[in-house]
Chains A and B, each alone.
Chain A
Amino acid sequence: MLPTPYVKCDYEKVYEPAEDSFLLLDSLEKDLQFLQTRFDGNLAIVCELGPGSGIVTTFMMQNNIPSHNGALYLALDINPWALEGTLQTATLNNCIKENGHSGYLEPVQSDLTTGLRDKQVDLLVFNPPYVPAEEVPEIPDTKENIDQWLDLALLGGVDGMEITGKVLDSLETVLSPKGVAYILFCARNKPEQLVQKIMQEDPSWDIELIEHRKAGWEVLSVYRFMHK
Protein backbone atom coordinates (compact mmCIF):
# COMPACT_ATOMS: atom_id res chain seq x y z
CA MET A 1 0.00 0.00 0.00
CA LEU A 2 1.35 3.41 -0.95
CA PRO A 3 1.06 6.16 1.66
CA THR A 4 -2.06 8.34 1.40
CA PRO A 5 -1.73 12.10 1.91
CA TYR A 6 -2.78 13.79 5.09
CA VAL A 7 -5.65 16.11 4.13
CA LYS A 8 -7.18 18.90 6.13
CA CYS A 9 -9.36 21.42 4.31
CA ASP A 10 -12.47 23.43 5.00
CA TYR A 11 -15.11 21.00 3.71
CA GLU A 12 -17.75 23.71 3.62
CA LYS A 13 -15.95 25.05 0.57
CA VAL A 14 -14.04 22.11 -0.88
CA TYR A 15 -15.11 18.54 -1.66
CA GLU A 16 -14.17 16.20 1.16
CA PRO A 17 -12.28 13.09 0.02
CA ALA A 18 -14.68 10.15 -0.14
CA GLU A 19 -15.01 6.65 -1.61
CA ASP A 20 -14.68 8.05 -5.14
CA SER A 21 -11.40 9.79 -4.31
CA PHE A 22 -10.03 6.60 -2.78
CA LEU A 23 -11.09 4.46 -5.73
CA LEU A 24 -9.10 6.78 -7.96
CA LEU A 25 -6.03 6.45 -5.72
CA ASP A 26 -6.41 2.67 -5.78
CA SER A 27 -6.66 2.67 -9.58
CA LEU A 28 -3.45 4.67 -9.93
CA GLU A 29 -1.68 2.40 -7.47
CA LYS A 30 -2.87 -0.67 -9.32
CA ASP A 31 -1.57 0.75 -12.61
CA LEU A 32 1.76 1.96 -11.26
CA GLN A 33 3.77 -0.61 -13.18
CA PHE A 34 1.74 -0.09 -16.32
CA LEU A 35 2.35 3.66 -16.22
CA GLN A 36 6.06 3.29 -15.59
CA THR A 37 6.37 0.96 -18.56
CA ARG A 38 4.24 3.06 -20.87
CA PHE A 39 6.19 6.27 -20.28
CA ASP A 40 9.56 4.82 -19.34
CA GLY A 41 10.53 8.09 -17.64
CA ASN A 42 9.73 10.20 -20.71
CA LEU A 43 6.83 12.44 -19.89
CA ALA A 44 6.28 16.06 -19.04
CA ILE A 45 2.73 16.94 -18.02
CA VAL A 46 0.30 15.45 -15.52
CA CYS A 47 -3.07 17.14 -15.23
CA GLU A 48 -5.76 16.63 -12.65
CA LEU A 49 -9.15 18.13 -13.40
CA GLY A 50 -11.11 19.16 -10.32
CA PRO A 51 -8.44 18.42 -7.68
CA GLY A 52 -10.72 19.66 -4.84
CA SER A 53 -8.74 19.12 -1.63
CA GLY A 54 -5.73 18.05 -3.69
CA ILE A 55 -5.73 14.50 -2.36
CA VAL A 56 -5.17 12.83 -5.75
CA THR A 57 -2.52 15.21 -7.09
CA THR A 58 -0.65 15.09 -3.79
CA PHE A 59 -0.83 11.28 -3.81
CA MET A 60 0.69 11.23 -7.29
CA MET A 61 3.44 13.70 -6.37
CA GLN A 62 4.21 11.95 -3.10
CA ASN A 63 4.59 8.57 -4.79
CA ASN A 64 6.23 9.75 -8.01
CA ILE A 65 3.32 8.63 -10.19
CA PRO A 66 3.85 8.08 -13.05
CA SER A 67 7.65 8.50 -12.96
CA HIS A 68 10.63 9.24 -10.73
CA ASN A 69 11.83 11.72 -13.32
CA GLY A 70 9.12 14.12 -12.25
CA ALA A 71 6.51 16.12 -14.12
CA LEU A 72 4.71 19.42 -14.11
CA TYR A 73 1.49 18.68 -12.18
CA LEU A 74 -1.25 21.00 -13.40
CA ALA A 75 -4.22 21.11 -11.02
CA LEU A 76 -7.21 22.69 -12.78
CA ASP A 77 -10.31 23.52 -10.75
CA ILE A 78 -13.14 25.95 -11.27
CA ASN A 79 -13.45 26.51 -7.50
CA PRO A 80 -10.90 29.01 -6.14
CA TRP A 81 -11.07 27.43 -2.68
CA ALA A 82 -10.08 24.08 -4.16
CA LEU A 83 -6.89 25.58 -5.57
CA GLU A 84 -5.95 26.97 -2.18
CA GLY A 85 -6.82 23.60 -0.63
CA THR A 86 -4.69 21.77 -3.17
CA LEU A 87 -1.68 23.98 -2.43
CA GLN A 88 -2.23 23.52 1.27
CA THR A 89 -2.48 19.72 1.02
CA ALA A 90 0.62 19.48 -1.15
CA THR A 91 2.53 21.69 1.31
CA LEU A 92 1.31 19.72 4.31
CA ASN A 93 2.69 16.56 2.72
CA ASN A 94 6.03 18.18 1.81
CA CYS A 95 5.41 18.04 -1.92
CA ILE A 96 6.20 21.64 -2.72
CA LYS A 97 9.94 22.01 -2.55
CA GLU A 98 11.15 19.10 -0.50
CA ASN A 99 13.76 16.65 -1.67
CA GLY A 100 12.74 13.22 -2.85
CA HIS A 101 9.71 14.49 -4.71
CA SER A 102 10.65 15.34 -8.21
CA GLY A 103 7.45 17.00 -9.45
CA TYR A 104 6.35 20.63 -9.60
CA LEU A 105 2.80 21.69 -8.76
CA GLU A 106 0.84 24.38 -10.60
CA PRO A 107 -2.74 25.19 -9.57
CA VAL A 108 -4.77 26.94 -12.28
CA GLN A 109 -8.32 28.24 -12.06
CA SER A 110 -10.12 27.17 -15.21
CA ASP A 111 -13.15 25.52 -16.72
CA LEU A 112 -11.88 22.03 -17.58
CA THR A 113 -9.10 22.13 -20.17
CA THR A 114 -10.30 25.11 -22.25
CA GLY A 115 -7.12 27.07 -21.43
CA LEU A 116 -4.54 24.36 -22.17
CA ARG A 117 -2.34 24.18 -25.24
CA ASP A 118 -3.31 21.10 -27.35
CA LYS A 119 -1.84 17.61 -27.06
CA GLN A 120 0.40 18.16 -24.02
CA VAL A 121 -1.12 16.06 -21.23
CA ASP A 122 0.56 12.69 -20.65
CA LEU A 123 -1.50 11.64 -17.65
CA LEU A 124 -5.00 13.04 -17.06
CA VAL A 125 -6.99 12.22 -13.94
CA PHE A 126 -10.59 13.23 -13.20
CA ASN A 127 -13.07 12.53 -10.43
CA PRO A 128 -15.88 14.62 -11.91
CA PRO A 129 -19.17 15.95 -10.61
CA TYR A 130 -21.09 12.78 -11.60
CA VAL A 131 -24.39 12.94 -9.70
CA PRO A 132 -27.39 13.16 -12.07
CA ALA A 133 -29.25 16.45 -11.71
CA GLU A 134 -31.57 18.60 -13.78
CA GLU A 135 -28.70 20.81 -14.74
CA VAL A 136 -25.10 21.74 -14.01
CA PRO A 137 -25.14 24.59 -11.48
CA GLU A 138 -24.04 28.03 -12.62
CA ILE A 139 -20.64 29.34 -11.61
CA PRO A 140 -21.10 31.52 -8.51
CA ASP A 141 -20.56 35.28 -8.97
CA THR A 142 -18.20 35.59 -6.06
CA LYS A 143 -15.72 33.47 -4.17
CA GLU A 144 -17.82 34.03 -1.03
CA ASN A 145 -20.92 32.09 -2.23
CA ILE A 146 -19.68 29.06 -0.44
CA ASP A 147 -22.43 26.41 -0.83
CA GLN A 148 -22.67 27.04 -4.56
CA TRP A 149 -19.06 26.01 -5.08
CA LEU A 150 -19.74 22.69 -3.39
CA ASP A 151 -22.74 22.05 -5.66
CA LEU A 152 -20.38 22.30 -8.60
CA ALA A 153 -18.30 19.50 -7.11
CA LEU A 154 -21.24 17.09 -7.14
CA LEU A 155 -23.87 17.80 -9.74
CA GLY A 156 -23.22 16.61 -13.28
CA GLY A 157 -26.47 17.53 -15.04
CA VAL A 158 -28.35 15.02 -17.26
CA ASP A 159 -27.27 11.44 -16.44
CA GLY A 160 -24.50 13.08 -14.40
CA MET A 161 -22.62 13.18 -17.68
CA GLU A 162 -22.62 16.80 -18.85
CA ILE A 163 -19.16 17.62 -17.48
CA THR A 164 -17.59 14.20 -18.06
CA GLY A 165 -19.03 14.24 -21.60
CA LYS A 166 -17.17 17.45 -22.39
CA VAL A 167 -13.93 15.96 -21.13
CA LEU A 168 -14.40 12.77 -23.17
CA ASP A 169 -15.06 14.88 -26.28
CA SER A 170 -11.86 16.83 -25.72
CA LEU A 171 -9.58 13.88 -24.86
CA GLU A 172 -8.29 13.65 -28.40
CA THR A 173 -7.19 17.31 -28.35
CA VAL A 174 -5.84 17.31 -24.81
CA LEU A 175 -3.81 14.10 -24.54
CA SER A 176 -0.28 13.72 -25.89
CA PRO A 177 0.16 10.84 -28.39
CA LYS A 178 1.04 8.43 -25.57
CA GLY A 179 -1.37 10.08 -23.15
CA VAL A 180 -3.52 8.14 -20.69
CA ALA A 181 -6.66 9.31 -18.85
CA TYR A 182 -8.27 7.88 -15.71
CA ILE A 183 -11.88 8.92 -15.27
CA LEU A 184 -14.35 7.99 -12.54
CA PHE A 185 -18.01 7.13 -13.18
CA CYS A 186 -21.03 6.08 -11.15
CA ALA A 187 -23.40 3.39 -12.46
CA ARG A 188 -26.06 5.98 -13.34
CA ASN A 189 -23.61 7.51 -15.84
CA LYS A 190 -23.96 4.21 -17.79
CA PRO A 191 -20.24 3.91 -18.44
CA GLU A 192 -20.33 0.44 -20.13
CA GLN A 193 -22.63 1.63 -22.90
CA LEU A 194 -20.61 4.76 -23.34
CA VAL A 195 -17.31 2.94 -23.61
CA GLN A 196 -18.77 0.51 -26.16
CA LYS A 197 -19.99 3.42 -28.23
CA ILE A 198 -16.66 5.25 -28.19
CA MET A 199 -14.73 2.15 -29.22
CA GLN A 200 -17.20 1.40 -32.02
CA GLU A 201 -16.93 4.91 -33.41
CA ASP A 202 -13.15 4.98 -33.20
CA PRO A 203 -11.47 1.55 -32.84
CA SER A 204 -8.10 3.15 -32.14
CA TRP A 205 -9.27 3.81 -28.55
CA ASP A 206 -8.20 1.31 -25.94
CA ILE A 207 -10.51 1.63 -22.92
CA GLU A 208 -10.37 -0.58 -19.85
CA LEU A 209 -12.18 -0.88 -16.55
CA ILE A 210 -9.47 -0.58 -13.88
CA GLU A 211 -11.41 -0.67 -10.59
CA HIS A 212 -15.01 -0.79 -9.44
CA ARG A 213 -16.58 -0.80 -6.01
CA LYS A 214 -19.89 -0.50 -4.24
CA ALA A 215 -19.97 2.64 -2.12
CA GLY A 216 -23.20 2.97 -0.15
CA TRP A 217 -25.95 2.92 -2.77
CA GLU A 218 -23.59 3.91 -5.61
CA VAL A 219 -21.45 1.63 -7.75
CA LEU A 220 -18.33 3.52 -8.74
CA SER A 221 -15.88 2.62 -11.48
CA VAL A 222 -12.66 3.98 -12.94
CA TYR A 223 -11.92 3.56 -16.64
CA ARG A 224 -8.59 4.10 -18.37
CA PHE A 225 -8.62 5.76 -21.81
CA MET A 226 -5.73 5.76 -24.26
CA HIS A 227 -4.85 5.12 -27.87
CA LYS A 228 -3.55 1.69 -28.82
Chain B
Amino acid sequence: MKVLTTNFLKCSVKACDVSNDNFPLQYEGAKCQLVQNENIEFNPEFMLNILERVEWDAVVRVVSELGNAGLPTTKPELPADADQLSEEDIIILRDLHTLLIQTSITEGEMKCRNCGHIYFIKNSIPNLLLPPHLA
Protein backbone atom coordinates (compact mmCIF):
# COMPACT_ATOMS: atom_id res chain seq x y z
CA MET B 1 0.00 0.00 0.00
CA LYS B 2 1.36 3.35 -1.03
CA VAL B 3 2.07 5.80 1.77
CA LEU B 4 -0.37 8.14 -0.02
CA THR B 5 -3.24 5.72 0.61
CA THR B 6 -2.86 6.10 4.40
CA ASN B 7 -4.42 9.53 3.86
CA PHE B 8 -7.68 8.02 2.61
CA LEU B 9 -8.26 5.15 5.05
CA LYS B 10 -10.08 5.36 8.36
CA CYS B 11 -11.30 2.81 10.90
CA SER B 12 -14.18 0.68 9.53
CA VAL B 13 -16.03 0.59 12.87
CA LYS B 14 -19.16 2.68 12.49
CA ALA B 15 -19.17 3.85 16.09
CA CYS B 16 -15.73 5.42 15.54
CA ASP B 17 -17.15 7.80 12.91
CA VAL B 18 -18.28 10.20 15.63
CA SER B 19 -14.79 10.41 17.09
CA ASN B 20 -11.96 12.46 15.64
CA ASP B 21 -9.50 9.66 16.32
CA ASN B 22 -10.50 7.23 13.57
CA PHE B 23 -8.28 9.01 11.02
CA PRO B 24 -5.46 8.66 10.26
CA LEU B 25 -4.86 5.16 11.55
CA GLN B 26 -1.76 4.80 13.66
CA TYR B 27 1.13 2.99 12.02
CA GLU B 28 3.45 0.87 14.10
CA GLY B 29 6.75 1.92 12.54
CA ALA B 30 8.77 -0.96 13.93
CA LYS B 31 6.35 -3.49 12.43
CA CYS B 32 6.00 -1.85 9.03
CA GLN B 33 8.18 -2.94 6.19
CA LEU B 34 8.77 -0.21 3.60
CA VAL B 35 9.81 -0.78 0.01
CA GLN B 36 10.63 1.82 -2.60
CA ASN B 37 9.87 1.26 -6.28
CA GLU B 38 11.76 3.76 -8.40
CA ASN B 39 10.05 2.64 -11.60
CA ILE B 40 6.78 4.32 -10.71
CA GLU B 41 6.62 7.37 -12.90
CA PHE B 42 6.33 10.95 -11.72
CA ASN B 43 3.15 12.73 -12.81
CA PRO B 44 3.17 16.42 -11.75
CA GLU B 45 -0.49 17.04 -12.71
CA PHE B 46 -1.60 14.16 -10.51
CA MET B 47 0.63 15.31 -7.64
CA LEU B 48 -0.96 18.76 -7.74
CA ASN B 49 -4.48 17.32 -7.79
CA ILE B 50 -3.85 14.85 -5.01
CA LEU B 51 -2.06 17.37 -2.79
CA GLU B 52 -5.15 19.51 -2.89
CA ARG B 53 -7.03 16.57 -1.33
CA VAL B 54 -4.45 15.43 1.13
CA GLU B 55 -4.85 16.22 4.81
CA TRP B 56 -1.34 17.43 5.47
CA ASP B 57 -1.33 16.98 9.24
CA ALA B 58 -2.20 13.33 8.72
CA VAL B 59 0.62 12.91 6.20
CA VAL B 60 3.14 14.43 8.61
CA ARG B 61 1.92 12.27 11.44
CA VAL B 62 1.93 8.97 9.52
CA VAL B 63 5.25 9.63 7.84
CA SER B 64 6.87 10.38 11.19
CA GLU B 65 5.39 7.18 12.66
CA LEU B 66 7.06 5.41 9.76
CA GLY B 67 10.38 6.96 10.74
CA ASN B 68 10.75 10.09 8.58
CA ALA B 69 10.65 13.37 10.47
CA GLY B 70 11.73 15.58 7.59
CA LEU B 71 8.39 16.98 6.37
CA PRO B 72 7.46 20.65 6.83
CA THR B 73 4.55 21.17 9.23
CA THR B 74 2.49 23.07 6.66
CA LYS B 75 1.47 21.94 3.20
CA PRO B 76 3.77 23.39 0.52
CA GLU B 77 2.15 26.17 -1.47
CA LEU B 78 2.09 25.35 -5.14
CA PRO B 79 0.51 26.85 -8.25
CA ALA B 80 -2.80 25.35 -9.42
CA ASP B 81 -1.44 24.64 -12.87
CA ALA B 82 1.45 22.32 -13.74
CA ASP B 83 2.64 24.78 -16.43
CA GLN B 84 3.45 27.32 -13.75
CA LEU B 85 5.64 25.09 -11.62
CA SER B 86 9.07 26.55 -10.85
CA GLU B 87 12.17 24.37 -10.66
CA GLU B 88 11.95 24.45 -6.88
CA ASP B 89 8.30 23.40 -6.99
CA ILE B 90 9.28 20.43 -9.15
CA ILE B 91 11.90 19.39 -6.62
CA ILE B 92 9.31 19.50 -3.85
CA LEU B 93 6.83 17.49 -5.91
CA ARG B 94 9.44 14.91 -6.86
CA ASP B 95 10.36 14.40 -3.22
CA LEU B 96 6.70 13.94 -2.35
CA HIS B 97 6.31 11.53 -5.26
CA THR B 98 9.17 9.45 -3.83
CA LEU B 99 7.67 9.51 -0.37
CA LEU B 100 3.96 9.11 -1.12
CA ILE B 101 3.79 7.11 -4.35
CA GLN B 102 7.06 5.22 -4.72
CA THR B 103 7.19 4.10 -1.10
CA SER B 104 4.83 1.38 -0.01
CA ILE B 105 4.15 -0.51 3.15
CA THR B 106 4.41 -4.14 2.14
CA GLU B 107 3.81 -5.66 5.57
CA GLY B 108 2.56 -3.89 8.64
CA GLU B 109 -0.03 -2.94 11.19
CA MET B 110 -2.30 0.02 11.64
CA LYS B 111 -4.40 0.75 14.68
CA CYS B 112 -7.49 2.88 15.28
CA ARG B 113 -6.69 5.52 17.88
CA ASN B 114 -10.30 5.47 19.05
CA CYS B 115 -11.25 1.79 19.44
CA GLY B 116 -7.79 0.23 19.32
CA HIS B 117 -8.69 -2.23 16.57
CA ILE B 118 -5.62 -3.42 14.64
CA TYR B 119 -5.71 -3.84 10.88
CA PHE B 120 -3.03 -5.68 8.92
CA ILE B 121 -1.22 -5.04 5.67
CA LYS B 122 -0.03 -8.22 3.99
CA ASN B 123 1.60 -8.56 0.59
CA SER B 124 1.07 -4.80 0.22
CA ILE B 125 -2.71 -5.16 0.55
CA PRO B 126 -4.39 -3.50 3.55
CA ASN B 127 -7.27 -5.42 5.07
CA LEU B 128 -10.02 -3.26 6.56
CA LEU B 129 -12.56 -6.05 7.08
CA LEU B 130 -13.86 -6.37 10.61
CA PRO B 131 -14.41 -9.63 12.48
CA PRO B 132 -18.16 -10.50 12.57
CA HIS B 133 -18.68 -9.23 16.14
CA LEU B 134 -17.54 -5.73 15.18
CA ALA B 135 -19.07 -5.46 11.68
Contact = CB atoms under 8 A, between A and B. Distances in A.
A115 B53 contact: no
A210 interface: no
Interface string A86-116: 0000000000010100111011111100111
Nearest to B82: A69
Interface stretch (B10-18, B67-75, B85-93): B10-18
Interface string B92-135: 00000000010000000000000000000000011111101001
B5 A72 contact: yes
A78 B129 contact: yes
A102 B42 CA distance: 9
A7 interface: no
A117 B127 CA distance: 15
Interface stretch (A41-49, A156-164, A196-204, A211-219): A41-49
B128 A108 contact: yes
Interface residues of A, number: 31
A109 B128 contact: yes
A43 B132 contact: no
B40 A120 contact: no
B132 A108 contact: no
Nearest to A100: B41
A45 B8 contact: yes
B9 A83 contact: no
A120 B46 CA distance: 15
Contacts of B127: 80, 109-110
Contact of A70 (B7, B45, B126): B45
Contacts of B61: none
A74 interface: yes
B82 to A, nearest CB: 8
Contacts of B49: 41-44, 69-71
A146 interface: no
Given A97-B37, A108-B128, A117 B46 contact: no
Given A108-B126, A109-B127, A120 B101 contact: no
B50 interface: yes
Contacts of A110: 12, 127-129
B32 interface: no
B8 A109 contact: no
A139 interface: yes
Question: Which of B8, B9, B12, B40 has the most chain A CB within a 10 Å cutoff?
Answer: B8
B27 interface: no
A74 B43 contact: no
A104 B43 CA distance: 10
B45 A107 contact: no
- Which 8 A-B pairs rank lowest in CB-CB distance, beginning with the nearest? A115-B128, A70-B46, A110-B128, A69-B45, A114-B12, A109-B127, A115-B12, A44-B53
Given A110-B128, A116-B10, 14 more contacts: A44-B46, A44-B50, A102-B43, A104-B2, A108-B5, A109-B125, A109-B126, A109-B129, A110-B12, A111-B128, A111-B130, A114-B128, A116-B9, A138-B132
Interface of A: 41-45, 69-72, 74, 78, 80, 83, 97, 99, 102-104, 106-111, 114-117, 120, 138-139
